[in-house]
Amino acid sequence: MVGQHGVDLAVGIIDSHFGDIVARVCSCLLRRGSSSLQEIVRDIGLPASRVKNCLLVLVQHNCVQAYSVPRLGGPQPKAVTLYMALFDNILHRLRFPKFLGLLAEEFEDPLMAANVETTEQKALAAAALVDAERFSGLGNVCYDGQNINLLKEKDEGSSVRSNLGEKRKHRELELDGETQSSINENEVLWRANIEKFVHRLKKKACFSRISTRLGLDAAIVFDAMIESSQQSGPKQNSVASSLDEILEWVMKKPSGRLMTMQHIRTYLEELKCKSSMEDTRAVYSIDLGEIIEECRSEEVGSLVLQRYGRDAYRMFRLLVNKARPIETDNLAEITFVKKKEAPGILYKLWLDCYVEMEIAVAYPGEKRFLWRVNIGALHEHVLNDMYHAAANLSQRIAQSREQQLEIANRRVNDVQRETERLKKERLVLETSLLRLDDALMLFHDF
């Protein structure tokens, strides 16, 4: 079940794409779970015809799944249609810019690639975020001297979103009882291959990680493993390919043509690939899951460093690496943190759910505090924080768009100046949302 912050994010996405009414129907399904048309009508108080048309829109855009279940009771059981919101599919609507980027790379379209690169460069220049302000850290965004905290926005999302919806009537999706939509049975239907899309994004994340840690040549060998293994259908995380196939794909890369077989073997060892013999061929395999876990660990560590400082980071990393409870004084001694300051730092981490605390009684009257990190619970907490930040970002972007419409009746000079300011602000927010989504994918999709 998706938490409240995840629901807020999904509803905000639907609101921005299809309007308030469709978002209300989606919100009902996300909160209640699978529901019938009658249950949704009772919950949100709209006419059945309008709710039905909202569901039609959501189903057609693959955000809701309709299915039938037998209705119990009565002499002749009848089937009832239930509707279920597809949270993952809704979330993927955030990633359309990433999809365009992959298309530019896949088909090597110079014009499209140039457009994507130019847009990204403009966004990065406008954002001008240093590493400490990356939204993967879920911290603050500075814009025109103002500090924007995305995790501590006032929890007035519903009322603000409602106000925005009132202002957005000119572009709200009009749905009434006369709206009809039909699909020709002979028409060829197309649907995005989300699994393939996520796999490509996972490969890019791993490629970036390997390139940073081991260098570009090692990343090229890794990329060759992925590309050659796709011919035989790789598993979700484990990728295997023969040495000859890897060499063949490496030779296709301009920077890989100078690599010898020995170079490739060396890089495969650095990548910690497992080797085996199959039909007299040397086959190497690598687990993408391990690389993703390293990326997650670095992401959480970066977050702790930004929020709590270097002393907290050292203690946190030690707890993660040891994977067992450690007493306060021992933890401070090993990490060279002052013993008087260690309890306060650990208490802050505990309050924010980054560490867990245990109390051990050595003998009557003496209590010792033990600290540990629960990786599963921690990742769930971080993901929930990311949903919260992304929902607030989406809301700020919607507000910025509405403000542009409100200045239309002002004097010309004011309109131009204010419009430029709002465009710059929205570019910062949209770029930050894309960066935050990179981190969100690590914990949700990968």
Q: Is residue 41 part of a domain?
A: yes
Q: What is the pLDDT of residue 286?
A: 85
Q: Is residue 53 part of a domain?
A: yes
Q: Is residue 445 part of a domain?
A: no
The total of structural domains in the chain comes to: 1
| Residue 35's CATH number | 1.10.10.10
Q: What is the pLDDT of residue 1?
A: 62
Provide the domain limits for residue 34. Answer: 4-85
Q: What is the pLDDT of residue 81?
A: 84
Q: What is the pLDDT of residue 343?
A: 92
296 vs 443: CA distance, rounded Å: 7
Q: Is residue 196 part of a domain?
A: no
From its phi and psi, is residue 197 left (phi > 0), alpha (psi between -120 and 50) or beta?
alpha
160 vs 12: CA distance, rounded Å: 11
pTM above 0.75, yes or no: no
Query: In a structure prediction context, what are the per-residue pLDDT tens digits for the chain, which is 446 residues long?
Result: 678 888 999 998 898 888 889 999 999 999 988 888 999 999 988 899 999 999 998 988 888 988 888 776 656 667 888 899 999 888 888 877 777 777 776 665 447 444 444 444 444 444 443 333 333 434 444 444 444 454 544 444 444 444 444 444 434 444 443 333 444 556 666 767 777 778 788 888 888 888 888 888 888 888 888 888 765 444 567 788 888 888 888 888 877 777 888 888 888 888 888 888 877 778 888 888 888 888 888 889 999 999 999 999 999 999 998 888 999 999 999 999 998 999 999 999 999 999 999 888 767 777 888 999 999 899 999 999 999 988 898 888 888 888 877 776 665 566 777 778 888 888 888 888 888 888 888 888 87
Q: What is the pLDDT of residue 186?
A: 62
Kindly provide the b/e burial profile for residues 171-195, where b requires at least 16 CB atoms within 10 angstroms of the residue's own CB. Answer: ebeebeeeeeeeeeeeeeeeeeeee
Q: What is the pLDDT of residue 305?
A: 93
Q: Is residue 81 part of a domain?
A: yes
Closest CA to 248 of 229, 224, 231, 279: 224
Q: Is residue 425 part of a domain?
A: no
Residue at token pair 């002499």: 75
Q: Is residue 435 part of a domain?
A: no
Q: Is residue 74 part of a domain?
A: yes
